[in-house]
Amino acid sequence: MFDFAWPWLFILLPLPWLLRWLLPAAKQDTTALNVTFLEELAAISGQTTYASRTSWPTLFPWIFIWLSLVIAAARPQWVGDTLPSQPTGRDLLMAVDTSGSMQESDMTWQGRLVDRLSLIKKLFGPFIESRHGDRVGLILFGSNAYLQSPLTFDRKTVKTWLDEAMIGIAGTQTAIGDAIALGTKRLYGQAENSRVLIIITDGSNNAGNIQPSAATKLAVQAKVKIYTIGIGSDKMIRYGFTNYSASADLDEDSLRQIAKETGGQYFRARSEADLAKISAILNKLEPVKQPLEQTRYIQEYYSYPLAVALLLTMFLIIFKLYPPLRNWRPL
């Protein structure tokens, strides 16, 4: 059926007449010569006076423009029948570590060395876009945890936020506990069997206001399933006279325990191939049924009266600025 989304806007129709009635009239110059037979002179010369210019035929185009604008503002639309919809999908939050250690260039992408955060962007950007039916959100954490994107079906925007993430944007340390707590808070209000949090980090918790163990207990109570990913190669790096592993700071035991307690899974990503496999596994997460929703097909038509108002306004402006048009008469 045809309907208006905001029909109450039609109360604005008499607004121009109310303003004309309520606002004071424009002051006139009293020193001007008062010609009482102005109408007669206008009739002889074939021109129009102010009074005649404001007659109904002259005002009709402006009335039509105002009517078109009000109709457009009320949003005319065609509304289809109500259809039941059973959406499927998960509410999936990704928490990505952006601490200083994520700039370690010990990973490879298509044969060249890249830092860890860059590899995450390369592999998990497509992962985000492939989550059809899911609502995806993004948390960036370092010394603190911040919600970069709330849960949304706009996966392209979430991917853009991930691509624009920078090393150190949330601080140089690693607050895994805060990231879990923030993710749990954002997922708590969603359907119980669809709450998924993915933690990607290369270090151990050394900052923040809450310990990972305490945050994990909150996640268990909120029925949030956490998948943890430890990223970093096993390359030996020489620093001065000492050799150490590139992943020496990674706390695998803690990440493994977080995943186990929440019913998730721990993954170890040492290379591009490992991370690609993990992305493929996570992409196979089974969708779950969401509460039944009622949907309608809606076709908007506000653009048509808006276009009419715009074209008529442009015509009147051209008519006013180009004097020869005023004296045009049809043959």
What averages of pLDDT result for each successive group of 10 residues across the chain (331 residues)? 86 85 64 49 48 58 88 86 60 90 82 86 86 86 93 89 92 92 90 84 88 94 92 69 66 91 89 82 66 67 90 83 61 44
Specify the pLDDT at position 216: 94
Structural domains in the chain, CATH included, are: 2-81+296-327 (no CATH), 91-283 (3.40.50.410)
pLDDT for residue 89: 67
- Model pTM above 0.75: no
Q: Which helix (H) or strand (E) holds 94?
A: strand 91-97
CA angle 30, 36, 39 (to 5 degrees): 115
**Close Cβ partners of 175 (under 8 Å, ≥ 6 residues apart):** 141, 142, 143, 144, 145, 205, 207, 208, 209
So what's the pLDDT on residue 140? 95
Distances (CA, A) of 212 to 2, 22, 114, 209, 230: 55, 66, 29, 10, 15
- Ramachandran angles phi, psi of 80, nearest 5°: -80, 180
Q: What whole-number distance in Å separates Cα of residue 149 and Cα of residue 56? A: 55
Q: What is the pLDDT of residue 165?
A: 92
Neighbouring residues of 327: CB distance < 8 A, sequence distance ≥ 6: none
Q: Is 189 exposed, middle or buried (0-12, 13-18, 19+ CB in 10 A)?
A: exposed
pLDDT at residue 271, as a whole number: 78
Q: What's the number of CA atoms in the CB half-sphere (13 Å) around residue 117?
A: 23
